[in-house]
Structure 1
């Protein structure tokens, strides 16, 4: 099992003292289940899902830590055992290279969300309908494609798109937040813009958008989001492993949480706890796997 840092031992010791001072035996037993470390990428979909899983594991009695990383660092942390699990693996295309590199050190528990899509996205009012038409309209898009963080698999695929279609547009890296900000600004001014996009994402609920056709099929077909854990988690924390293995929801359910997270002063963790409280019938199906 992973060695815990000294600060964590001190924290557990403090909890034990509190238990001796009057904490109920049931609560103390719940705390004794240990700590689960979840890694994720700072995409709105993964912020939603990882916080929901955190809330569910906490309901089951675990302490949970979350760490936001680049996609490459997220997979590496899982392979080295610094993280216990991710619910943010986009397969079989986006994260294929990462899985190939660390496959012997992780365990793929399968799909937690079906019905994803990747591609280039424009406002619905844009006259362009295909990636193949971008060069003829490059100036309309300010000769650029607005991307996300440079380490994302989606950016690697988009680089392939630029090469395959011999595009004269520059792929500009940034983050999910800067991408949606550029999209919002363009739509507010009724201007054309092309961004890297994926489904599920809250932007499709907020604005009328469309994917550009990809006749060369560089982005591939629909993808799925998988749960992947470090080797040895099942032996170390079998109940947490069972809950993670059972976790599965729909794009519509994820969309509910993502929209909650777009409200002013939204707290993704508090929103996740609220969604878990409001959907106990779904949550109980995940928790019952550990019984």
Structure 2
């Protein structure tokens, strides 16, 4: 009888200890931070990288995928906390002008982007101005685009008008566009896509931008990150760490390549963070 009572007491104490431990863990949590991201390869890569880094620091991180315009709207309304990718002064200028009073712009983490119409290097064409004259030779009727709301697509629609191109611009998505590029490249078939760098495609395939003499796609941008208003007050250490964050073609390219070759995105991000502990430590010191 006494033995049975003793067992019950021990069990009760164990349950209380477990509950106490759970409450402690909850109190130690630094809160939930929500990233908004669109499905550009580098955006997916760096957002997952920061998810891994910040979760190791005690935060709960949620990633919400959507098109670029809703990301800006979500940050401005306070529904999202962080967006890791803003291209300025050219690509995201329309969104910046619309929402700049309701977001907090932070530091540059990548310098010198590019974007425009891209073809495999085996294609005998070098300029957007040649597209109409070589249409029959190329045997193409369309340009494969990405998300219809992306600034790159708006620029591409402008390019069709400015160069009076006799092609259809097809709405798609980043992954779907890359699938079409991969298939055409492997068969050495002609294809025209809307693309940008930094992107792992330029390491994987031999590609070239078509010259843009009218400068429709503008000059090179830098990539910044932005936060909701007052996020700096709520989480100053995150803003400090992310303002220390700098990447170049080598570091960003290796991150995207590691993720691309991993079983899933977060696993690849974890692997890269582990392999680049010294660099990450500089950001979070």
* Equivalent residue runs for 1:13-24 within 5 Å: 20-22=19-21
Alpha-carbon distance, 1:236 to partner: 1.2
The alignment partner of 1:82 has SS state of coil
Contact 2:105 2:225 in 1 (8 A): yes
Whole-angstrom distance in 2 between the partners of 1:197 and 1:210: 10
Note closer, same or farther for the CA distance 1:280–1:29 as it changes in structure 2 (3 Å cut). Answer: farther
- In structure 2, do the counterparts of structure 1 residues 56 and 202 end up closer, same or farther at CA, with 3 Å as the change threshold? same
TM-score of the aligned structures, taking structure 2 as reference length? 0.89
Secondary structure of 1:97 counterpart:
helix
Query: 2:171 & 2:243 partners in 1: Cα distance?
Result: 34
- Rg larger in structure: 2
TM-score where L is the length of structure 1 = 0.88
Unaligned runs of at least 5 residues, structure 1? 1-16
Q: Which one of the candidate residues 268, 272, 275 is aligned to 1:271?
A: 268
Gaps of 5+ in 2: 1-15
Could you tell me how far apart the structure 2 residues matched to 1:286 and 1:231 are? 22
Q: Show the counterpart of 2:197.
A: 199
Alignment of 1:132 onto 2:129: yes
Q: Which residue of 2 aligns with 1:10?
A: none
Matched-pair contact (CA < 8 Å) for 2:259–2:266: no
Instruction: Give aligned pairs, total.
Output: 269
Counterpart contact for 2:258–2:271, Cα < 8 Å: no
- The answer to whether the Cα contact below 8 Å between 1:260 and 1:266 also exists between their aligned partners in 2 is no
Contact 2:258 2:272 in 1 (8 A): no
Give SS of 2:260's match.
coil
- Cα distance, 1:19 vs. partner? 7.2
Per-residue CA deviation, residues 125-148 of structure 1 (Å, 9 max, x unaligned), is: 111000000011123152211100
Task: Select which of 232, 235, 241 maps to 2:233.
Answer: 235
Residue 14 of structure 1 is matched in structure 2 by: none
Residues 141 and 50 of structure 1: CA distance in aligned 2, closer, same or farther (over 3 Å): farther
Rounded to whole Å, the distance in 2 between the matches of 1:35 and 1:24 is 17
